[in-house]
Amino acid sequence: MIWHTAQEKSVIRNRGGKPLKKSGYDGTLKGKPVEVRSVRKDSRYRIQKNVHRELVKKGGSYLFCKGNRSKKVSAKAVSKKLGRGKWFKDRKYPHKFLKVDEVFRNA
Protein backbone atom coordinates (compact mmCIF):
# COMPACT_ATOMS: atom_id res chain seq x y z
CA MET A 1 0.00 0.00 0.00
CA ILE A 2 2.31 2.72 -1.22
CA TRP A 3 -0.35 5.47 -1.02
CA HIS A 4 -0.98 4.60 2.63
CA THR A 5 2.70 4.79 3.64
CA ALA A 6 3.15 8.10 1.78
CA GLN A 7 0.02 9.47 3.45
CA GLU A 8 1.22 8.41 6.91
CA LYS A 9 4.55 10.18 6.44
CA SER A 10 2.89 13.30 5.02
CA VAL A 11 0.30 13.59 7.81
CA ILE A 12 2.92 13.13 10.52
CA ARG A 13 5.31 15.67 8.94
CA ASN A 14 2.50 18.21 8.40
CA ARG A 15 1.87 18.10 12.15
CA GLY A 16 5.55 18.66 12.94
CA GLY A 17 6.28 15.01 13.75
CA LYS A 18 8.81 12.43 12.68
CA PRO A 19 7.80 9.30 10.71
CA LEU A 20 9.55 6.09 11.79
CA LYS A 21 10.92 3.26 9.65
CA LYS A 22 10.09 0.32 11.92
CA SER A 23 7.21 -1.93 12.78
CA GLY A 24 4.80 -0.74 15.42
CA TYR A 25 3.46 2.80 15.52
CA ASP A 26 4.02 5.12 12.54
CA GLY A 27 5.97 8.00 14.08
CA THR A 28 6.27 10.52 16.87
CA LEU A 29 4.73 13.90 17.65
CA LYS A 30 6.39 15.96 20.37
CA GLY A 31 8.29 12.85 21.47
CA LYS A 32 5.14 10.70 21.87
CA PRO A 33 4.12 7.81 19.60
CA VAL A 34 1.49 8.35 16.94
CA GLU A 35 -0.38 5.97 14.65
CA VAL A 36 -2.04 7.10 11.41
CA ARG A 37 -5.33 5.43 10.51
CA SER A 38 -7.05 6.32 7.27
CA VAL A 39 -10.01 5.28 5.18
CA ARG A 40 -10.98 5.88 1.61
CA LYS A 41 -14.38 4.25 1.25
CA ASP A 42 -14.74 2.27 4.48
CA SER A 43 -16.90 3.57 7.33
CA ARG A 44 -14.54 2.40 10.07
CA TYR A 45 -10.92 2.39 11.15
CA ARG A 46 -9.11 -0.80 12.16
CA ILE A 47 -7.34 -0.51 15.52
CA GLN A 48 -4.56 -3.07 16.06
CA LYS A 49 -4.38 -4.40 19.63
CA ASN A 50 -0.61 -4.51 20.15
CA VAL A 51 -0.01 -1.03 18.68
CA HIS A 52 -2.98 0.38 20.61
CA ARG A 53 -1.67 -0.95 23.93
CA GLU A 54 1.75 0.56 23.26
CA LEU A 55 0.20 3.93 22.41
CA VAL A 56 -1.85 3.92 25.63
CA LYS A 57 1.16 2.90 27.72
CA LYS A 58 3.36 5.66 26.24
CA GLY A 59 0.71 8.42 26.19
CA GLY A 60 0.43 8.34 22.41
CA SER A 61 -2.32 9.24 19.98
CA TYR A 62 -3.92 8.49 16.63
CA LEU A 63 -4.16 10.70 13.59
CA PHE A 64 -7.41 9.70 11.89
CA CYS A 65 -7.71 10.67 8.21
CA LYS A 66 -10.68 10.81 5.86
CA GLY A 67 -10.21 12.62 2.58
CA ASN A 68 -8.43 15.91 3.26
CA ARG A 69 -9.43 15.94 6.92
CA SER A 70 -7.42 14.66 9.85
CA LYS A 71 -8.03 14.65 13.57
CA LYS A 72 -5.70 13.82 16.46
CA VAL A 73 -7.25 11.70 19.23
CA SER A 74 -5.44 10.36 22.30
CA ALA A 75 -5.12 6.59 22.52
CA LYS A 76 -6.84 6.71 25.93
CA ALA A 77 -9.86 8.43 24.37
CA VAL A 78 -9.90 5.77 21.64
CA SER A 79 -9.93 3.07 24.36
CA LYS A 80 -13.12 4.58 25.80
CA LYS A 81 -14.76 4.56 22.38
CA LEU A 82 -13.72 0.93 21.72
CA GLY A 83 -15.14 -0.35 24.99
CA ARG A 84 -14.22 -3.57 26.78
CA GLY A 85 -15.53 -6.11 24.27
CA LYS A 86 -13.42 -8.85 22.72
CA TRP A 87 -10.90 -8.19 19.98
CA PHE A 88 -11.59 -9.73 16.56
CA LYS A 89 -9.15 -12.45 15.48
CA ASP A 90 -9.98 -12.97 11.82
CA ARG A 91 -6.53 -11.68 10.76
CA LYS A 92 -2.98 -12.36 11.91
CA TYR A 93 -3.42 -9.75 14.65
CA PRO A 94 -6.27 -8.95 17.07
CA HIS A 95 -8.16 -5.77 16.19
CA LYS A 96 -11.29 -3.71 16.84
CA PHE A 97 -13.09 -1.13 14.75
CA LEU A 98 -13.84 2.52 15.37
CA LYS A 99 -16.46 4.18 13.17
CA VAL A 100 -15.48 7.24 11.17
CA ASP A 101 -18.57 9.05 12.49
CA GLU A 102 -17.36 8.51 16.08
CA VAL A 103 -14.10 10.28 15.27
CA PHE A 104 -15.43 13.17 13.18
CA ARG A 105 -18.79 13.69 14.93
CA ASN A 106 -17.75 17.02 16.50
CA ALA A 107 -15.06 18.00 14.02
pLDDT tens digits, one per residue of 42-101: 899 999 999 999 999 999 999 999 988 889 999 999 999 998 889 998 878 899 999 999
Give the number of domains in the chain. 1
pLDDT at 1 over 50: no
Whichever domain contains 88, its CATH number is 3.40.1350
Residue 21: per-residue pLDDT: 80
Q: How far apart are CA 21 and CA 33, in angstroms?
A: 13
Count H helices, E strands: the chain?
A: 4, 7
Domain of 49 in residue numbering reads as 2-104
Instruction: Write out pLDDT tens, residues 14-47.
Output: 999 999 887 789 999 999 999 999 988 889 999 9
Query: Which parts of the chain are beta strand (E)?
Result: 18-19, 27-29, 32-39, 44-48, 61-66, 69-74, 95-99
